[in-house]
Amino acid sequence: MALYRRIPGAIAVITLTNPPVNALSCTVREAIYETVKRATADQEVKAIVLCGANGKFCGGADIKEFSREMRGPPLVPMIDMIEESEKPVVAVIEGVAFGGGLELALGCHYRIAHSGAQVGLTEVTLGLLPAAGGTQRLPRLIGVPAALDIITTGRHVSAQEAVRLGIVDKVTDSSAMEEAIEFAKTVAGEPMGPRRLSLWTAACPEDLDSLLEGALVRIRQRSRGALAPVACVQAVRAAASLPFAQGMKKEQELMAYLFTSGQARAMQYCFFTQRAAARWTTPSGASWENTKARPVRQAAVIGLGTMGKGIAVSLSRAGIPVIAVETEQKRLKAGRKAVNSMLTRESQKRGLAEAHLGSISFTLDLRKLRDTDLVIEAVFEDMALKKQIFSKLSSVCRPDALLCTNTSGLNIDEIASAASRPELVVGTHFFAPAHVMKLLEVVCGPRTSPVAVATAMQLAKRLEKIGVVVGNCSGFVGNRMMRPYTEQAYYLLEEGARPEEVDLVLEEFGFAMGIFRVMDLSGLDVGWRSRKELGLTGPKLPPGTEARSRGGKRYSPLPDILCESGRLGQKTGRGWYLYEKERVATPDPWLQSFLEDYRSRFGIQSRRVGQDEILERCLYSLINEGFRILQEGIAASPEDIDVIYVSGYGWPRHRGGPMFYAWMVGLPKVLDKLEHYHRTHPDIPNLAPSSMLRKLVARGSPPVHQWRALIQQHSSQL
């Protein structure tokens, strides 16, 4: 709703009241209409102040309403009515003014913001565009180039930048409300015509076409295949070239097209699932409701390799004092140097004062961890080494200290078996670079206590990461699903495809990089090491093993052969691609002839592999593994899997996540295709459709939010 009160000085104050973010729900819109009409009709009122309750102006349109039939007064005429008011309307921007919230403020005649406020036209992040006049008013207010950037990225703009750009008229460190009231008194009675943005002309550069073209190029690089940012560019073009009314018509047409697109649905699904994952209720009944996280006043990181360094920076940035431990003086020195320079870069980039960073001390002595609340082990993926560390930690640390391992796939329970209190051992799987990537898989072993999970999830929040609780199995959720995906990519090469063909299909789907480019970037030796550990290749492989088969299942030795010949990816200048210029991948003629030789050596008839087959075999095998994960109770819900993929594996947000995508494609189609590919490749068991997928199809393919209820609770690992 919106509360109305009249205060001395002939001012009407209208307060949007819809916790937690004062979203513009049907009821709020109705109340704004009514209160603005009341204020304009009231002879005693000379000016109007519009604010939000609880220190937040407005979080925009109510996203929950987008999936229902629209009711109540629409936003556009409501904002027009405010702009047309003869009495000045002053918006008080505290907290946030996002999406429709900022559009509402743009309809007001003046905007006064608190210095801590943020504004933005964030609709593009939900697959939409600012269709309450935002695409037409913002360019008129601040010019086309700056508006184009804000509208197409949906980025949050600080109050300081907002006043610099002219989005707000004034910023104050003290009470924005009081400032606005005093200001409103000074403009009461003035004509409002010059303050109506709809009457302005957008300042436009001479080379408008090249500005818009440049924006489209950046959009294609950043979010391939996403419709909303492209529509935003079209709407801004309309603002630059058409009268306001026609621009508004164009804005509405584009919105109608986006609103019903699967992409908007997918991105709104992402918005809600990310928040649902943070609420983490497990099938065994643990949740924030009944479990309290332990306070983390001091943390430690063991191992200052790539991951350890990023984790230490992440902790320090959250203001948590850190003890960083290494085994050798040389490594400690190198680690200290790297961490300190990362922190300096961070504080320069984010404007963080050193006082806000948690202190980091460096030591070779594990005994220094005796007062630590939480330890994160980030050493090599070596089970024996990890067990040795956990055993030592048990004797050095406080008995209630939480012991976390950053393994990316080893058995948490086996690691926990070396600790004296296995219930306090939990997996915290960070993603590289750990101080940048948002995802944290919180891995729960069979003996991990709810308190340990709650503490790790609370830590994720403090580190501004998205924590998702998963069960213990090889590779957990994310890496486990990657295996069948990469295997399919190798098989496709064996059968006739080229790396650049596979990558192009995946990039056109929306991944920032295709799988072969990703492998080249992270180093082919990472997978090679783990395949050697598993005895799939290298010295542990029993003599006489067939080159293309392991345990009766198809195996591709292609990546092993590349590694053996020193092609480890970008770092050696060669991998699946050639890197003559640093980081620039070019198709390698050597690889092409190597693949031809390989095929003729193994009698494989090379064929042209179509784009659909590339996409389906890569994605459906990954999705199929997701269904197995659900079946085994390793993830609590399909939404959790989707959050993991969107926030940690570059799955395009406008595709919702693998499980949502499967549902959008149609579960019967996914099942049918998997059956087809499995019939064609019976030696690839990953292609055999999972029973969970069959079950969902048999139940009529219910929407994703209903799957959780169908997952057998007794098989849950959580």
Ligand X SMILES: CCCCCCC/C=C/C(=O)SCCNC(=O)CCNC(=O)[C@H](O)C(C)(C)COP(=O)(O)OP(=O)(O)OC[C@H]1O[C@@H](n2cnc3c(N)ncnc32)[C@H](O)[C@@H]1OP(=O)(O)O
Q: Which residues bind ligand X (CB under 6 A)?
A: 20-21, 23, 59-64, 70, 75, 96, 98-100, 122-123, 126, 128, 130-132, 255, 259, 275
Alpha helices in 375-447 (DSSP H): 383-396, 412-416
d(CA 609, CA 621): 17
Please state the three-class secondary structure of 132-199 as a single string.
CCHHHHHHHHHCHHHHHHHHHHCCCEEHHHHHHHCCCCEEECCCHHHHHHHHHHHHCCCCCHHHCHHH
Nearer to ligand X by C-beta: 62 or 441?
Answer: 62
Nearer to ligand X by C-beta: 101 or 638?
Answer: 101
Active site residue 103: yes
Nearest to 701, CA basis, from 689, 710, 713:
710
Nearest to 430, CA basis, from 289, 583, 314:
314
Nearest to 489, CA basis, from 630, 648, 613, 362:
613
Q: How many CB atoms lie within 10 A of CB 491?
A: 23
Nearer to ligand X by C-beta: 100 or 638?
Answer: 100
Active site residue 441: no
Long-range contacts of 350-358 (CB under 8 A, 24+ apart): 350/317, 352/317, 356/319, 357/316, 357/317, 357/319, 358/315, 358/316, 358/317, 358/318, 358/319, 358/320, 358/321, 358/322
DSSP 8-state symbol, 518: H
Nearer to ligand X by C-beta: 4 or 259?
Answer: 259
Could you tell me the smallest distance in angstroms from the CB atom of residue 522 to ligand X? Answer: 31
d(CA 587, CA 633): 41
DSSP 8-state symbol, 58: B
Active-site residue, from 83, 103, 179, 487? 103
Nearer to ligand X by C-beta: 200 or 271?
Answer: 271
Nearer to ligand X by C-beta: 20 or 539?
Answer: 20
Query: Both tokens of residue 511?
Result: 């991944």
Q: How many CB atoms lie within 10 A of CB 700?
A: 8
Could you tell me the smallest distance in angstroms from the CB atom of residue 666 to ligand X? Answer: 26
Instruction: Supply the angle between the helices 244-259 and 262-279 in degrees, to the nearest 10.
Output: 70
Alpha helices in 356-423 (DSSP H): 383-396, 412-416
Task: State in Å, rounded, how far the first CA of the chain is from the last one.
Answer: 40
Could you tell me the smallest distance in angstroms from the CB atom of residue 95 to ligand X? Answer: 8
Could you tell me the smallest distance in angstroms from the CB atom of residue 654 to ligand X? Answer: 15
Could you tell me the smallest distance in angstroms from the CB atom of residue 24 to ligand X? Answer: 7
d(CA 578, CA 587): 6
- In degrees and rounded to multiples of 5, residue 702 shows phi and psi of -65, 160
Could you tell me the smallest distance in angstroms from the CB atom of residue 27 to ligand X? Answer: 13
Nearer to ligand X by C-beta: 338 or 460?
Answer: 460
Q: Exposed (0-12), middle (13-18) or buried (19+): which is 321, by Cβ within 10 Å? A: middle
Secondary structure (3-state) at 208: helix
DSSP 8-state symbol, 704: G
Active-site residue, from 83, 123, 326, 507? 123
Could you tell me the smallest distance in angstroms from the CB atom of residue 560 to ligand X? Answer: 45
Nearer to ligand X by C-beta: 130 or 557?
Answer: 130
Could you tell me the smallest distance in angstroms from the CB atom of residue 99 to ligand X? Answer: 2
The catalytic site residues sit at 103, 123
